[in-house]
Chain A
Amino acid sequence: MSKRLYHKILLIMRLTTVILIASLMQVSASGFAQLITINRKNVQLKSVLKEIRRQSGFDFFYDGKIITDDQRIDINIRNVTIDEALHNTFEGLNFIYEIEGKKIAIKKKPAPSLIEKVKSFFNNINISGIITNENGIPLNGATIKVKDSKILTKTNTEGAFTLNGVDENAKLIISFMGYEDMEVKAIKNLGIIKLKLSNNPLDEIRVVAYGTESKRFSVSSISTVSADVIEKQPITNPLLALQGQAPGLTISATSGIPGSQVLVQVRGQNTLNLNSSVNAPKPYDQPLFIVDGVPFASQNQNVSQFASMVAAQRTSDGISPSIGISPFSNINPADIESISILKDADATSIYGTQGSNGVILITTKKGKAGATNFDVNVNTSVNSVGRPVQLLNTQQYLQLRRDAYAADGATPSSDPADYNNYAPDLTIFDQNKYTNWQKLIYGQNTTNTDVHASLSGGSANNTFIISTGFNRSTYNYPGDFADQRFTLHSNQRHISKNDRLSVSLTSDFGYGQNNSAGFGGARDAILSPNLPDLLDASGKLLWTYKGVDLTSQQFYASLLKPTKLHNYNFNAAFNISYKLLEGLTISANIGYNRNNTNENSIEPGVAQNPVYLSRQSNFSDITFQTINVEPQINYSKTIGKGILSAILGATYKKNTNSSRYVTGYGYSNDNFLGSVNGASSVQANDDASIYRYNAGFARINYIYDQRFIINLTGRRDGSSNFGPGRQFGNFGAVGAGWIFSEENIVKKLLPILSYGKISGSYGTSGSDGVQAYQYQALYKPIAFIPPFQGIAPSSPYNLYNPDYSWALKKSLNIGLDLGFFNSRLLLNATYYRNREGNQLVNYPLPIQSGISSVLGNLDAVVQNEGPEFSITSTNIQNKDFSWRTTFNLSFNRNKLISFPNLAFSSYSSAYAIGEPTSVVYGYKYKGVNPTTGLFEYYTKNGEVTSNPTYGLATEGGDQAAISDQQIKYMGGFGNTFSYKQFSLYIFCQFSSQNAPNYLAEVYGSSLIGLMYNQPLEVLNNYWKKPGDIAQLQRLGSSYSSISTSSALSFAQSSGVYRDVTYLRVKTASLSYKLPVSFINKVHIKGGSVFMNAQNLLTFTNIKVGDPEQPSTFSSFPMQRVLAFGLNLNF
């Protein structure tokens, strides 16, 4: 890796640290003044007194018996004088105190006389009031507790409460999850009390499996990305908003084309190949995606079936699954409230099987009680290529071509029959014509539009939101191609007057249209720069130039072969709950999701060379559907000093997927291509699958004394993917945490520590990631075989193995959380180790068993482990200026621990024991031989050759494990600055991995020296004459060239693998809140103008291409997006 980049990252990190520390010093400096600060809950009175003595120098005198060890108080004072401190300490207690000089004497209050008692009875008052949030919206369920007593009550749906018979000198503590506690003096009519939102990130509420929790008492490994981070990113696919935001989460964009797939992985690859066919790409585990409690029907699968520009992008590098159109681009990021990433067993095991590879919970926005609010957001963005690649110009290109012929001692020929030497670009085309195809194809800027409007409001009992959005994302490509999306989101919620019944319905409808060019597309950027005009003056396609057939170069033909995709997503989440008793609620979640895609791709006559004309039209349908029903019982109770909450539930899920593909041939007219009826012959293919899943689960959580947390989860899963008797599996997890900062000794020794927690979890989960029906012997029609004497033949499809069962994953997670300076600085360090064993694979068999593999469990174990770190810090918080920082860093190490008989299985060229599952087999590269000018490789015996033998060493070949594609480290850091009306957010993401670089393409798919344009970097880097020490070998002018074999081997050698490290300014967002004076003038509630940028700047050690697509320089590049917008609130 380039040392420079490394240093740059280091420098930025250091700089951040210095600034951070500087600002922290400032924060803590006030603590050393003569004033007293104590903030503790449920602490011994004795220790408070000691603390006051320590901070003030005053001594206390009292009869040792009157203050006992279990005399505890809550105290929260900040920079107060000794008088105030004492007043606060003893308020409501049965003590009186006197100050003499530096001494304080404490005595018991004299016992009240009978008269006083009677008086006190009459002094008791009935209190009533209404609790609201900062905007005056009533809070339902806020707790009002009489200080130092057991008397408490909760607010109703109107936020109102009454407390009877309270001492008029008493104090009330009002608390609500996510808000700061408030202490008020008891008076008869409290009126409306507004609670303040908690600034403490520990108390932020986040969505977890079947509920919410605060970070403070969590023992799981969960990251949350909230709306304020998502909305600052001008992206159309919500998954892209997660890039770099959460430790352990890998997000890979597959292309810069809007609508294209985004791959997601949590904490590495757990499963092995399910496909034993040669060179099959390895599987890529993706987490479970749940939207508003409903499992997303398509999950993150490609919803497109056709070869289109999107599908033509990026080689899979042997790891990724097939790529295409993402179903998630049909969810509007503006409708998302938060995305939670559940990583460890404690967080995910309640999802059992399905959550084995992590869970992504997407929660959409819900209506909030209050005045009806209308919010409009409009923005326009400008797209350009993130990192353009400079290709050769005509002179440079022709020079390279001539060098190639010279190297072969061949002469370019104008005769098409001279297969080896035919070079129309050197002999027929204009030698001075220059078309910058790269610029023409993806060099322009385009503009995109995004509009989002939402109407929300309601009372405490009934809230609603309706929002709609439109997005049109074009990309800088000639032609009318775009990804468009219409979304309609709504939520209604009703709570009955008596606060027992609650119903909520969330529904989302999304219609997406992706219109993309036919296969080929951007790869045409490497056409010869001196190619003649491909269009005539009237814009018609030209197929020949001076007798040269231009069919394979006719870039404009792909523009006339559009693939049009319509995607419909419908998601409905219904929730009903009823409170049977205080603390006991029954509820049910019922969800339905349907994702349907229709596609049509055409090959019209106008796009084809009339010589080989053959019209064709392809139609396809894919439908994914999920029905999910989850009845639940929730119970919570205060037991002793702790709170117990339990949940008991069941899941029933049914997935049905189907796909159909019809191709019509032999149309007589281009205008018939929209229908299958015009075809003279038709080929069709379909497939369908069904999956049923059923589980029962229970989770018990107990938080003792705000210090100890224990969490037990158990689950029994049933899956239709398994045979009779194997369908059920039991899984569970245990999590525990200790908030040690609540211990007195810690408070005493480390007063700087405001929060400290050690937590851990261990658990199991299963995986049934196999096709249905494999447990029984199946027969399939033999495809493409004519009937035998009129009988359609069929043949066995699989072997009968009813015995395979769940793959088992064991996860260990240990976390340390530290909070300093009243939790303004929060640090988290986590170590995890996941081991997936009993892997489900197509286990290879000798063919004498009839079929070469059988689906079964294999005692292979894949391990993922590593540390993760995250920091959130409020560096500066003033009235006008604030600065907050977040940072995360993760290191996942993946390793195949065991695989019995690996060397003898067909997986032997895909995996290696002790190596990451992303291990790559190929030739070990040595260098360019200065004499022959050819690339050289090491053979299995350590000899040197330019023509290595294909195959593994065990098979007589020279291939060995040469590299892997593991991400070495990744992370992100963001800074948010706000000054008065201005707010600036800058988020940087970084990653480092081993990956093939652009030379994989130069020597793989578009061989250098042939009629393809190449990146400028290759120029004069190649060997020319004996004695040259060169990076690249001698050129070849044809596939018959002596350099071809060693060139093709190079693309499969360690020579193309290198470290790819980058730091990307992923998001920069600047917004300006419209000033109150202006708002009042135009009669609106609020508004802002903003500018958001995505992929603004990239620092990387690779010279050619985008570091997120390092192995290619010709496929469609990542986009840099600059959006300008306006937000208005009515």
Chain B
Amino acid sequence: MIMKKIFSDINKIATGLLFIGLTLASCKKLIEIPANPPSSITQEQQFADSLTSMSAVAGVYAYNTGNGFAYSDGALTYITGLSSDELSYVVDNDNQQFYSYTLTPLNGGISSIWSYAYQSIYQVNAVLNGITNNSNLSADFQKRITAEMKVVRALYYFNLINLYGDAPLVTSIDYSTTSHIPRTPVATVYDQIKADLADARQNLTANYPSAGRARPNLYTAIALQAKVNLYQKNWQSAYNEADSVIRLGNYVLESTLNNVFLSGSTEAIWQLPAKSSNYAVSDARNFVPSSATAAPNYLITDFLWNAFESKDRRLQNWTASKVVNGRTLNYPFKYKNISTTATPVEDQMIFRLAEIYLIRAEAAAHLNDLGQALADVNKIRARAGLENSPVNPTSQIAVLGAVMLERQTELFCEWGNRWYDLKRTGTAAAVLGAEKTGYTDNASLYPIPQGQRQLNKSLTQNPGYN
């Protein structure tokens, strides 16, 4: 009895004390801290006005070798070069898997390309999230930056689907939904790319928003549209878009080949300042031997080498050779400055006029405007010091062949063009099957990285990989 009473008393007192204690404790004021720690800022602070917002935009454009437009230290260039018939390897790590079509889902190269693309897409989505409906920013600014970011996003998705096929389409920054998105069909991703570019086109002008051609303008968006339509075999659209860039864009082919990749190149449609006290362009660092005695890491294959006519000035200007142990080794030499102090300054080229000519040529050839096609090809040939194409000007197949050959020699080791061309024209099996061993249709898509499939169970694997 007594015990019971005592316990009931204790209970009463306990409840009372707890109540007072909890009231005291629930004071939110006492645990308020400044909005941000000194070394980082909140999203609101980042997008407080147009100047601060530009820092996040700069984060998207900044040439960061490991990240962003360098595509994992330039890996995009050399792995597609190895997978196609442009490059062979000297340093064997994961490289030989690309060359010999023995890729596994554990390959580091496919994992980093995938990762860096999605990290960059997140940066883009975060900027979009930060500026959209942000009352601190002018409507013009919002429109302009939104347009630029959509061009960037379109480019990343364009490369992702051409490398991997179906890929998760992520346009938000909410991890609770984005972490479960399965692979989106290529067609749907293309729809998003086209929608993004169409939006961008509405809000971009012919003027570049800042110095040089570092940020997309109207013609950058149209150039990418042209490339997308070319890949989708929308010949007329591709033709029109390439044509408008060429006619209205005020770009001029550099007459000197060695000036094409320099900062301020007149044929640049989009090029990023890459050189700094820390970096040179990744392609230079990957391809140019690091010292007088070192061998190059990647060699131009005989297939590519033999595609050039002997008088082709691109051989002298855009490739280089080195004799190591009595063997002559050829390597890509479009970018030449391996050291961070070397001059002249080279920028990372994303789009240039020569590619647009070749897009127009290819589209024209498909539209049976063979004269226009050959004229565009010859324009590129002339710059390389070659006479007009010797192909039969009345044969559509021959003219198309001339276009593809010109794409091979003009655009080698740039943005995976050769690898994509072989795949989209359906010639990969024939060409690569003849040149190399091991190519199968399954090899046309890279495997989805194993680690990512472990983290997102809904990611399926491409056929031929397990």
Contacts and interface: CB of A to CB of B under 8 A. Distances in A.
Nearest to B452: A846
A152 interface: no
Interface string B16-45: 011011111111101111101111111101
Given A792-B55, A845-B179, A904-B455, A773 B40 contact: yes
A696 B18 CA distance: 8
A718 B58 contact: no
B13 A789 contact: no
Contact of B39 (A641, A697, A780, A800): A780
B64 interface: yes
Given A649-B21, A693-B31, A696-B22, A789 B14 contact: no
A110 interface: no
A718 B24 CA distance: 11
B181 to A, nearest CB: 6
Interface stretch (A67-75, A249-257, A847-855, A976-984): A847-855
A788 B61 contact: yes
Contacts of B42: 776-779
A596 to B, nearest CB: 18
A687 to B, nearest CB: 6
A851 to B, nearest CB: 7
B122 A849 contact: yes
A726 to B, nearest CB: 11
B122 A716 contact: no
Contacts of B17: 646, 648, 698, 700
Interface in B88-126: 104, 106, 114-115, 118-119, 121-123, 125-126
Contacts of B188: none
B43 A850 contact: no
Given A646-B13, A716-B22, A788 B175 contact: no
A847 B115 contact: yes
Contacts of A852: 115
Contacts of A718: 25-28, 30-31
A715 B62 CA distance: 50
B33 A788 contact: no
A201 interface: no
A566 to B, nearest CB: 24
Interface string B40-75: 111101100000001111110111100000000000
Contacts of B34: 690
Interface string A712-732: 101111111000000110100
Contacts of A686: 38-39
Contact of B14 (A688, A696, A700): A700
Contact of B106 (A649, A697, A797, A955): A955
A789 B179 CA distance: 34
B339 interface: no
A786 B277 contact: yes
B18 A698 contact: yes
A702 B451 CA distance: 57
A692 interface: yes
B323 interface: no
B25 A710 contact: no
Q: Which of A712, A794, A801 has the most CB of B within 10 A?
A: A794
Interface string A792-806: 111111011100000
Q: Which of A696, A718, A800, A854 has the most CB of B within 10 A?
A: A696
A784 interface: yes
Given A792-B55, A850-B173, A717 B25 contact: yes
B292 interface: no
Contacts, number: 242
Contact of B58 (A792, A850, A956): A792
B40 A848 contact: no
A639 interface: yes
B182 to A, nearest CB: 10
A907 to B, nearest CB: 12
Contacts of B126: 777, 796, 850
Contact of A797 (B9, B40, B118, B454): B40
Q: Which of A639, A784, A795 has the most CB of B within 10 A?
A: A795
A652 interface: yes
Nearest to A844: B455
B204 interface: no
Contacts of B57: 791
B32 A850 contact: no
A610 interface: no
Nearest to B43: A777
A652 B37 contact: no
B224 interface: no
Q: Which of B2, B10, B59, B114 has the most CB of A within 10 A?
A: B59
Contacts of A847: 114-115, 118-119, 452, 455
Interface in B168-206: 168, 170, 173-175, 178-179, 181
Given A687-B39, A718-B26, A712 B14 contact: yes
A796 B118 CA distance: 13
Nearest to A688: B38
Contact of B25 (A642, A650, A787): A650
A716 B278 contact: no
B37 A772 contact: yes
A848 B31 contact: no
A727 B37 contact: no
B248 interface: no
A750 interface: no
A694 to B, nearest CB: 4
Contact of A801 (B28, B106, B175, B212): B175
Given A714-B18, A785-B62, A720 B454 contact: no
A462 interface: no
Contact of A778 (B23, B43, B121, B214): B43
A650 B21 contact: yes
A704 interface: yes
Contacts of A787: 58, 62
Contact of B168 (A639, A848, A906): A848
Contacts of A850: 118-119, 121-123, 125-126, 170, 173, 175, 178
Given A693-B31, A779-B46, A704 B6 contact: yes
Interface string A903-915: 1111000000000
Given A646-B13, A648-B20, A846-B455, A776 B43 contact: yes
A844 B45 CA distance: 27
B455 A720 contact: no
A779 B43 contact: yes
A342 interface: no
A644 interface: yes
Contact of A641 (B2, B18, B21): B2
A782 B36 contact: no
B273 interface: yes
B318 to A, nearest CB: 27
A795 B181 contact: no
A689 interface: yes
A653 to B, nearest CB: 9
Contacts of A791: 54-55, 57-58
Interface string A404-448: 000000000000000000000000000000000000000000000
Contacts of A773: 33, 36-37, 40
Given A788-B273, A794-B59, A796-B122, A694 B25 contact: yes
Given A692-B32, A693-B31, A850-B175, 7 more contacts: A649-B21, A686-B39, A692-B31, A792-B55, A794-B56, A794-B58, A795-B123
Interface of A: 639-642, 644, 646, 648-650, 652, 686-698, 700, 702, 704, 710, 712, 714-720, 727-728, 730, 772-773, 776-780, 782, 784-789, 791-797, 799-801, 844-852, 854, 903-906, 955-956
17 contacts: A640-B2, A642-B6, A646-B17, A694-B25, A698-B21, A702-B6, A714-B14, A773-B36, A779-B41, A786-B277, A793-B59, A800-B43, A844-B455, A848-B170, A850-B125, A851-B119, A854-B175
The 5 closest A-B CB pairs, nearest first, are A850-B122, A696-B25, A696-B21, A786-B276, A846-B456
